[in-house]
């Protein structure tokens, strides 16, 4: 018997009760989706109203979607080939003027990347309906099919931690819009099914910026794997873009009102264009402004930590730091006094030697990310644009070249776990030995196996697993194991 998909059309709560994107993001990221469903719905109604005012390029007829998607894919490929031709002809990087620019981007998009795939979560409850299978498979693949090295959130967390870019919680509200939308959709698939389908259709199309970002991150010595993984899984032939189209076709076929379903699907598609995006984040970067913000944050705890013997322009460092608004003036006076030599390698500046040298008095004060910002700012001449590439300094070895060199030397740590190995599903022992050896995590996994054994039925087991596969929990040891088992039971 076919199911007719008729999303509920109950009134949304008053928009006045809705929180900011950032507030809603932190409400929902810990997994309290059902608890805040009304608040999330009010937020989505506000965002959908804004989305309806935007234009899109989606054809008006379902039958044209396949050709539209293929034409977009071909166009992106041609644009990327033109970009590569330009680079080979000597053109500079299009996106990232410096390594610090790239690190800023990685940090600024963290709220979105750390809930990757969340909008599809609530569809897991329809696991018995074959029409939902393409979209459920997409969610499972976002979760790496339960393999940590393929789980998108795990990968991004590792990327942030390795670059010391994991202090992103203080970002501006616009950086949280996309993440908040994804979590809000995850909370209410019954009401927002057409919007989820449309959002997924837009999100899974391969964009040009993803290809360029991956290329330039590698150039700057930053692991691009998280981004290159999306290039492969989002392909229009067999990947998530193809599954997105399948989902639209199968769910539209049984919609109670196909025309209304399609209209609302387009609203969901346009949700992708709200808030900060890759190109806007890249375009807003200001090297000096970022340095000033870092120094102002440091001044809160550092204003009483310096001796009075060191004075700049007649004022002690403590005096300068007591007034965060004076940080730009302090940096100028440090330059005038010769402590900072703009346009030269950072190592030529006495201020840098306080941070990085054999006897650095300020060792540990600045994170790796903060040091990169300072290094690039020093190396950029004062007369240059704040986002311009550093004028001096050695050429950066690309990430892949460095990995090849380390592998040649036999450094096993240089090889990404399971690199080159096919992604498989563990069929006989869902709790892998590596998981069971993980101390308390191993105990949690054993308890999960015991609970599943006592579940009594497949639906009861699936409900238990789905709870562990929420956006807040799927990247934990128990969530990864639950994903592996769910995948096996779904087959």
Q: Would you tell me how many other CB atoms lie within 10 Å of the CB of residue 373?
A: 24
Domain residue limits, the chain: 17-91+110-275, 433-490
Cα angle: 466, vertex 469, 474; to 5 degrees: 165
Two tokens, residue 40: 């999330």
Task: Answer yes or no: are the C-beta atoms of 121 and 174 closer than 8 Å.
Answer: no
- Rounded to the nearest angstrom, the gap between the alpha carbon of residue 172 and the centroid of all alpha carbons in its chain is 15
* Six token digits for residue 368: 């790796």
User: Which DSSP string do the residues of 409-465 spell out, in sequence order?
Assistant: TT-GGGSPTTTTSPP----S-SS-HHHHTSTHHHHHHHHHHHHHHTS-SHHHHHHHH
pLDDT at position 398: 75
pLDDT for res 444: 78
Burial of 141 (0-12, 13-18, 19+ CB in 10 A): buried
CA distance 288 to 354: 20
pLDDT of residue 403: 72
* pTM for the predicted model, two decimal places: 0.87
Cα dihedral sign, 446-449-454-455: positive
Q: Which two tokens stand for residue 246?
A: 């399948």
Mean pLDDT of successive 10-residue stretches along the chain, which has 491 residues: 57 62 95 90 97 95 95 96 98 97 98 97 96 96 96 97 95 98 96 97 95 97 94 72 94 94 97 97 97 87 55 79 87 92 95 81 83 96 62 59 70 48 36 45 79 89 95 95 95 81
């Amino acid at each position: 018997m076919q199911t007719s998909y008729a999303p509920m059309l109950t009134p949304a709560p008053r928009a006045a009760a809705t929180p900011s994107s950032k507030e809603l993001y932190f409400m929902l990221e810990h997994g309290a989706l059902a608890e805040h469903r009304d608040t999330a719905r009010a937020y989505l109604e506000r965002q959908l109203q804004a989305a309806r005012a935007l234009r899109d390029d989606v054809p008006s007829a379902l039958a044209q979607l396949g050709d539209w998607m293929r034409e977009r894919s071909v166009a992106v490929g041609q644009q990327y080939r033109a970009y590569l031709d330009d680079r080979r002809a000597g053109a500079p990087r299009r996106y990232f003027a410096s390594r610090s620019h790239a690190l800023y981007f990685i940090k600024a998009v963290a709220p979105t990347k750390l809930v990757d795939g969340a909008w599809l979560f609530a569809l897991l409850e329809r696991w018995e309906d074959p029409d939902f299978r393409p979209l459920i498979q997409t969610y499972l693949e976002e979760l790496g099919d339960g393999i940590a090295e393929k789980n998108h959130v795990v990968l991004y967390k590792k990327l942030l931690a390795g670059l010391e870019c994991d202090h992103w919680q203080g970002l501006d509200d616009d950086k949280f819009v996309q993440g908040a939308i994804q979590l809000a959709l995850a909370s209410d698939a019954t009401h927002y099914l057409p919007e989820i389908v449309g959002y997924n259709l837009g999100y899974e199309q391969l964009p040009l910026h993803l290809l360029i970002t991956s290329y330039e991150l590698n150039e700057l010595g930053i692991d691009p794997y998280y981004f290159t993984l999306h290039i492969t899984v989002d392909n229009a032939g067999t990947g998530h873009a193809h599954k997105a189209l399948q989902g639209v076709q199968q769910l539209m076929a049984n919609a109670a009102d196909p025309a209304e379903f399609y209209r609302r699907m387009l609203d969901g598609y346009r949700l992708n264009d709200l808030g900060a995006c890759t190109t806007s984040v890249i375009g807003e970067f200001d090297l000096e402004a970022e340095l000033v913000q870092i120094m102002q944050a440091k001044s809160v705890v550092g204003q009483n930590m310096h001796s009075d013997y060191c004075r700049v322009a007649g004022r002690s460092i403590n005096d300068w730091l007591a007034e965060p608004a004076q940080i730009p003036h302090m940096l100028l006076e440090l330059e005038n006094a010769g402590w900072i030599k703009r346009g030269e390698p950072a190592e030529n500046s006495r201020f840098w030697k306080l941070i990085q040298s054999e006897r650095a008095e300020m060792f540990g004060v600045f994170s790796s990310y903060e040091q990169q910002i300072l290094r690039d700012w020093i190396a950029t001449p004062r007369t240059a644009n704040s986002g311009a590439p550093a004028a001096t300094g050695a050429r950066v070895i690309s990430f892949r070249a460095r990995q090849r060199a380390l592998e040649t030397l036999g450094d096993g740590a240089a090889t990404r776990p399971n690199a080159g190995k096919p992604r498989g599903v563990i069929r006989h022992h869902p709790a892998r030995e590596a998981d069971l050896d993980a101390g308390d995590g191993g105990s949690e996994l054993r308890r999960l196996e015991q609970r599943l054994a006592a579940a009594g039925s497949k639906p009861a087991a699936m409900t238990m697993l789905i709870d562990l596969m929420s956006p807040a929990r799927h990247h934990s040891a128990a969530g990864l194991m639950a994903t592996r088992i769910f995948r096996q039971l779904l087959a």
